[in-house]
């Protein structure tokens, strides 16, 4: 079966920057699973996977615009420490990845500066502004179930669990 809209796709990947060592590798765990055509995958990677099938391998280089976007210089915000998830369990330091509670749920951020009552956080994705190289092995492709189509995401191992 070819990857097309409404296909559930599972794949392993290795992620690096051009000419650099791999910094993320899914081969030690479960493959990544997503519902193709439902905005659950990086735009450029989803486009490159279209038309592929189980067993195919490919290398895809994505500029920031097709991956996590350009870094936004104005994405640093000051928030109250009360909004940092699990803040009592660790002392906040610059460069530390944490979650903050927002009106739209938890959001991953990077600590820029920690104070006594507030913390300055960078809301850019950690990979924003980077060109990324994905070395991909398509593991499986299947038709989505009616429930997956209704929910807009893949279910089961590697997908969303209810």
Residues 41-55 have pLDDT tens digits of 999 999 999 999 999
- 123-156 pLDDT per residue, tens: 999 899 999 999 999 999 999 999 999 999 999 7
Residue 159 has pLDDT above 70, yes or no: no
Range of the domain at 14: 7-68+127-151
pLDDT grade for 17, boundaries at 50, 70 and 90 = very high
Cα Rg of the chain (Å, integer): 18
Q: What is the pTM of this model?
A: 0.82
91 is a domain residue: yes
- Point out which residues pair with 15 in neighbouring strands: 24, 134
24 is a domain residue: yes
The domain that holds 114 is classified in CATH as 2.40.10
Q: Considering its fold, how many domains does the chain have in total?
A: 2
Query: Are 140 and 10 contacting, i.e. CB atoms less than 8 angstroms apart?
Result: yes
pLDDT grade for 158, boundaries at 50, 70 and 90 = low
Residues 64 and 143 in one domain: yes
Give the ranges where the chain is alpha helix by DSSP (H): 43-49, 146-151
- 80-124 pLDDT per residue, tens: 999 998 865 478 999 999 999 988 889 999 999 998 899 999 999
């Amino acid at each position: 079966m070819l990857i097309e809209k409404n296909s559930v796709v599972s794949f392993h990947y290795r992620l690096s920057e051009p000419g650099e060592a791999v910094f993320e590798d899914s081969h030690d765990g479960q493959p990544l699973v997503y519902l193709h055509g439902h905005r659950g995958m990086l735009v450029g990677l989803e486009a490159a996977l279209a038309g592929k099938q189980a067993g195919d391998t490919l290398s895809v280089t994505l500029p920031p615009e097709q991956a996590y976007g350009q870094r936004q210089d104005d994405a640093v915000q000051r928030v109250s420490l009360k909004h940092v998830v699990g803040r009592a369990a660790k002392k906040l330091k610059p460069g530390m990845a944490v979650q903050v509670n927002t009106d739209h749920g938890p959001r991953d951020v990077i600590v820029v500066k920690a104070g006594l009552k507030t913390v300055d956080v960078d809301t850019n994705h950690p990979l924003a502004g980077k060109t990324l190289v994905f070395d991909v092995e398509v593991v499986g492709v299947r038709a989505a179930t009616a429930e997956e189509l209704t929910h807009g995401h893949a279910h089961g191992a590697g997908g969303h669990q209810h």
